[in-house]
């Protein structure tokens, strides 16, 4: 007998994408047992759209973040397996079936998560194309057994939450990464390119940079909480270092034009830090878009570095900034 599968979709102001997300969930070739939409205090048409489908709708009266929304969905669900789908994602029809096949073939695996397709859910222009190229590439680079969980589209055994607990509701980002770290070596985790979803990603540069700055502030606290080897990383340390050194060395060129070679060398280091990414973007979109890609990528990497520095300082000054596990470790006994 096939295990029961509960689908949990946390959403906040997802009227643009929720209909496509739910349509894709109900179009899975392997049937689902129940679908639970957790509306995290939306102010748009999210609830009306959810009512178009035979799903169960849970509504919160204040915005508490994706971790709390997912936890509420877990408590309300009854499936042996839980399929988490972000509201801006539309899984391909075979996504659930392929994830189930991996669980059946590898009994020690408790969690299977997938990758973004190169084709967006809605085509909103070049910034979104940049995001999807990068997001697809770094996930594809890590396909296989991993220590990190990413919950954009993710099938996980219910028993995991009874053992390690739910999502850390103090986190507004990286809550899935932190959960995967708690799973540690006790549970097998697989990232696979057979579980694919189309994603509606950021399409405005300013919004993208603001989100990256906010999310990257949790990089240091979450890294400090890690109990084992580092998990999946979207960016290479050399790339982040090269990006940071470009503006730091630029004043040298302003002082003496002959020193322009130094920031240019740092820019070359930044581009060459991940040669696989360079080849991938060139192959997919050609040299013209590759130049655009790296211009945006430099701004994003600089924003990530700035956010990490700010977050690291906040973490030093406030022991409650970061995962609950870190704060507990710092608390006097």
Exposure letters 112-150 (e unless 16+ CB within 10 A, then b): bbbbbbbebbeebeebbbbbbbbbbbbbebbeeebbbbb
Contact 96, 30 (CB under 8 A): yes
Whether 208 maps to a domain, the answer reads no
The pLDDT value recorded for residue 184 is 78
The pLDDT value recorded for residue 144 is 95
Q: What is the pLDDT of residues 264-282, one digit of tens each?
A: 999 999 999 999 999 999 9
Q: What is the pLDDT of residues 127-136, one digit of tens each?
A: 999 999 999 9
Higher pLDDT, 328 or 153: 153
> Mean of the pLDDT values across residues 193-209?
96
Report which secondary-structure segment, H or E, holds 84: strand 81-85
Whether 79 maps to a domain, the answer reads yes
Whether 159 maps to a domain, the answer reads yes
Whole-structure pTM value: 0.90
- Residue 47, pLDDT > 60, answer yes
Contact 228, 122 (CB under 8 A): no
List the domain range (segments joined by +) for residue 169.
5-201
Structural domain total, the chain: 1
- Residue 330, pLDDT > 50, answer no
pLDDT band for position 219 (cuts 50, 70, 90):
confident
Tokens describing residue 244:
């940071």
- Polymer length of the chain: 333
Whether 216 maps to a domain, the answer reads no
Whether 265 maps to a domain, the answer reads no
- Residue 62, pLDDT > 80, answer yes
Contact 155, 189 (CB under 8 A): no
- Residue 332, pLDDT > 90, answer no
> Mean of the pLDDT values across residues 188-200?
97
Tokens describing residue 313:
């300082």
**pLDDT > 90: percent of the chain:** 77
The pLDDT value recorded for residue 229 is 64
**pLDDT > 70: percent of the chain:** 95
Whether 258 maps to a domain, the answer reads no
Whether 246 maps to a domain, the answer reads no
pLDDT band for position 321 (cuts 50, 70, 90):
confident
Find the CATH number of the domain harbouring 185. 3.90.550.10
Sign of the C-alpha dihedral computed for residues 60, 63, 69 and 71 taken in this order: negative
Whether 162 maps to a domain, the answer reads yes
pLDDT band for position 54 (cuts 50, 70, 90):
very high
Q: What is the pLDDT of residues 140-157, one digit of tens each?
A: 999 999 988 999 999 999
- Residue 73, pLDDT > 80, answer yes
- Residue 70, pLDDT > 60, answer yes
């Amino acid at each position: 007998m096939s295990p029961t599968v509960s689908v949990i979709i946390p959403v906040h102001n997802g009227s643009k994408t929720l209909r496509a997300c739910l349509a894709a969930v109900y179009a899975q070739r392997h049937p689902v047992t129940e679908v639970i939409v957790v509306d995290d205090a939306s102010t748009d048409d999210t609830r009306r759209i959810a009512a178009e489908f035979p799903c169960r709708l849970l509504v919160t009266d204040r915005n508490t973040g994706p971790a709390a929304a997912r936890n509420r969905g877990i408590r309300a669900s009854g499936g042996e397996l839980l399929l988490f789908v972000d509201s801006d994602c539309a899984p391909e029809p075979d996504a659930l079936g392929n994830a189930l096949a991996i669980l059946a073939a590898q009994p020690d695996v408790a969690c299977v998560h997938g990758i973004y397709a190169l084709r967006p859910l809605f085509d909103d222009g070049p910034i979104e194309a940049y995001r999807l190229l990068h997001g697809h590439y770094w996930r594809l680079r890590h396909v296989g057994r991993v220590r990190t969980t990413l919950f954009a589209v993710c099938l996980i055994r219910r028993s995991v939450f009874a053992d390690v607990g739910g999502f850390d509701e103090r986190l507004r980002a990286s809550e899935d990464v932190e959960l995967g770290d708690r799973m540690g070596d006790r549970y097998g985790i697989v990232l696979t390119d057979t579980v694919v979803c189309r994603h509606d990603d950021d399409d405005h540069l300013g919004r993208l940079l603001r989100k990256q700055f906010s999310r990257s502030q949790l990089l240091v606290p979450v890294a400090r909480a890690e109990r084992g080897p580092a998990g999946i990383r979207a960016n290479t340390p050399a790339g982040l270092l090269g990006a940071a050194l470009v503006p730091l060395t630029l004043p040298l060129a302003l002082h003496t034009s002959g020193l322009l070679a130094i920031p240019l060398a740092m820019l070359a280091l930044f581009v060459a830090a991940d040669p696989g990414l360079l080849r991938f973007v060139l192959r997919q979109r050609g040299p013209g878009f590759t130049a655009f890609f790296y211009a945006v990528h430099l701004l994003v990497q600089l924003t990530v570095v700035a956010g990490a520095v700010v977050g690291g300082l906040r973490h030093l000054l406030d022991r409650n900034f970061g995962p609950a596990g870190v704060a507990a470790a710092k608390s006097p006994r």
